[in-house]
Structure 1
């Protein structure tokens, strides 16, 4: 039996690599002679650089950059020929901020701009920035400040400060710093910058914002957008609201928005790997309605369907209905919480419980 194991991370508990190993170990507990191809994946969020490094080779370059709270953090990007791959979460990720200090009005994306500047200095002519898992809501203003936009102090002070920017915003130095470089925002989030579907309203609460702060942050981003995008075209672009508005900043610099899932799946040649498989297994921490809106498991299932191979999902939680899952090309879904008996058990013993679940599922799908 040959299977392809292609999960995303289980946020907060397992990396994509750890999840893939747990599934493989569990399946082998039932099918000892298993032929398993492990292909851990990322949609642009945490794990983006690690996954692409394994698939593409290249060189990782480590530097210290400004973290979301202003303190130095260690980060790295991947350089493959003249293309740099940057994982924004390494510089401004939610995991870098203790729960009691989470405040999207104060966190900054300056470190992402520093990574871009370093990559360009190292010879990159194309920079792909994976967006996801951020602790920020500053519209990428910190990124722009790190590349030379002014006023630097106001732009790098967090999303809450954007409503009181003195005068206008001068992007000329940042545009010059990235001239001749192709910038790509790799994301499968299609939210605009502002409004009820924008960065503040949709993602702000995940980063610590209450209802009142969500309204203030959206208003501050509107001031920033008026100063940088008078026509209103860029702020409404799908993906502008990704990673607290990092997508918007890249658009301001002439960048484009592309599917992070599609880019990663192409890099690992998932279609080629799936073609000769009996079963494809994917998964993530929570398999919910958002998962069917272009997130990684949906991309894996689509690829499997195109190759005529069944795809199953192992996830921490499953809240998708069977009819919706089947329409997306998913043959079956299994919940780690249900298998473990409680959310506490699933969270505290994630790898062990995922291995147990995979062994049970293998018995049902053994051929």
Structure 2
């Protein structure tokens, strides 16, 4: 039997933002499931294709054979702590998916520079005093590596720092310096989090759950970030450029225009402006296109072609809720459904009704049970999660292999 393992990262998500330090990356999930499956059914053919969503660990999900060059950028974290942002240049066969694309495709894991801390007190300090400057440093260095005509894919996720992108723009040299850096390069934002910067369901309001800060404090932080970004947008206007053919082999998702982002005015309440503490709204104002990260990475890693070689598809996410659109679950399930393949979902926690899973192409789901009474699915950290995934892989093999 041919099985495609195409999981996402498995991390707990308090407040809707994954805490990657407590979870297991997409490649680790795929490898753990494969070890368990192989023990039960050693003759089955397993293909591992981890699907990143734009969050921390983005580049580790890319197959090593698809990478031509790799670097690690040293940048400051939100409070000046040492952080790293991996950058890879894809091999031509992996990066070139469209006609007339002469440049290289680069992928920057900018989200690792601003990953949400597991400690809520530290997250609170980042929210109150943190900066997106490290994100800007990472983007600046990546743009300096890229040449005119190249495509730079920037992974961005939720952050505790919430300065409306002020630090990022400063690191890029202000409006004029930023425009000069981006000129001639096609920047695509692979968003792990598509929440707006502000508003009732925005990234700012999400800080309450992530940090434990009082609502009044969070509202003041959010008001300042949104006001700053709104005031700056006119100075950044005009950065939009005509898009090239998408280098990812995927059309934009429903409701998106040719430039990739949704067709609505760019403002703090708009779709996909809150990632990276507001870095997304600044980069979009400078001409970057925004897309759901799972769709971008599924295209870059060749999910559609891999599914054609499978009899069964297995995906995974840490926590699944009632909105699946553009998630790893949705993207992988749709790829399987188009080929009439069964797709199975592994989760740590799922609150998605069976009907909605079915609409997303998922025929069955399996959840990791807590390590002990009253525990949580991620207790014990990455090693324990991997060990339990191995056991679940054996169970899946006995149930689904034929």
Q: Which residue of 1 aligns with 2:113?
A: 91
Structure 2 unaligned spans of 5+: 12-21, 91-102, 238-263
Matched, 1:214 2:222: no
Q: TM-score, normalization: structure 1?
A: 0.86
Match of 1:326 in 2: 358
Name the TM-score, length of structure 2 as normaliser: 0.79
Matched, 1:357 2:392: yes
Decide which of 277, 291, 302 is 1:269's aligned counterpart.
302
Show the counterpart of 1:116.
139
Relative to structure 1, the CA distance from residue 37 to residue 203 in structure 2 (aligned partners, 3 Å threshold; closer, same or farther) is farther
In the alignment, structure 1 residue 144 sits paired with structure 2 residue 169: yes
Kept after mapping to 1: 8 A contact 2:158/2:277: no
For the residue of structure 2 that corresponds to 1:265, the secondary structure is: helix
- More moved, 52-61 vs 259-268: 52-61
> For each residue in 1:157-197, what CA deviation from the matched residue of structure 2 results, as whole angstroms up to 9, or x when unmatched?
xxxxxxxxxxxxxx233223322222221115432222112
Provide the rounded CA distance (Å) in 2 between the counterparts of 1:227 and 1:198. Answer: 18
Aligned to 2:99: none
Residues 100-133 of structure 1: CA deviation (Å, up to 9, x unaligned): 3212122222112112221222234432111115
Aligned to 1:62: 72
Q: 1:319 to 1:143 in 2, by over 3 A?
A: same
Q: Larger relative CO (CA 8 A, sep 6+): 1 or 2?
A: 2
Deviation, structure 1 residue 259:
2.6
Report Cα offsets for 1:40-76 as digits up to 9, x if no partner. Answer: 1201112211223636312111232111211232332
Q: Which moved more, 1:6-15 or 1:118-127?
A: 118-127
Mapping 1:172-251, distance limit 5 Å: 172-187=176-191, 189-202=193-206, 205-229=209-233, 233-235=265-267, 236-251=269-284
Equivalent-residue separation in structure 1 for 2:185 and 2:2 (angstroms)? 42
Could you say if the C-alpha distance between residues 172 and 295 of structure 1 is closer, same or farther in structure 2, counting changes exceeding 3 Å?
same
In 1, the alpha carbon distance for the partners of 2:24 and 2:135 equals: 24
Q: 2:156 maps to what in 1?
A: 131
Assess if the C-alpha contact under 8 Å between 1:46 and 1:133 holds in 2: no
For residues 280 and 342 of structure 1, the distance between their equivalents in structure 2, rounded to whole angstroms, comes to 31
Separation (CA, whole Å) in 1 of partners of 2:152 and 2:82: 22
- CA deviation vs aligned residue, 1:76-108 (integer Å, no higher than 9, x gap): 21123633211122211124x744321212222
Aligned 8 A contact 2:107 2:155 in 1 = yes
- The 2-side partners of 1:238 and 1:247 are apart by 10
Offset at 1:313?
Answer: 0.6
CA 1:24–1:66 in structure 2 vs 1: closer, same or farther (change >3 Å)? same
Match of 1:258 among 263, 279, 291: 291
Q: Is this contact kept in 2: 1:110–1:143, CA < 8 A?
A: yes
**Distance across 1 between alignment mates of 2:176 and 2:385:** 48
3-state DSSP of counterpart to 2:266: coil
Does the residue aligned with 1:229 lie in a helix, a strand or coil? helix
1:16 to 22, 26, 29: 26
Q: Is the 8 A contact 2:157 2:192 kept in 1?
A: no
The CA distance in 1 between the partners of 2:74 and 2:202, in whole Å, is 31
Structure 1: distance between partners of 2:287 and 2:120: 35
Structure 1 outlier segments of 4+, above 4 Å: 338-342
Supply the RMSD in Å over aligned alpha carbons: 2.3
2:60 to 47, 50, 74: 50
Q: 1:201 to 1:253 in 2, by over 3 A?
A: same
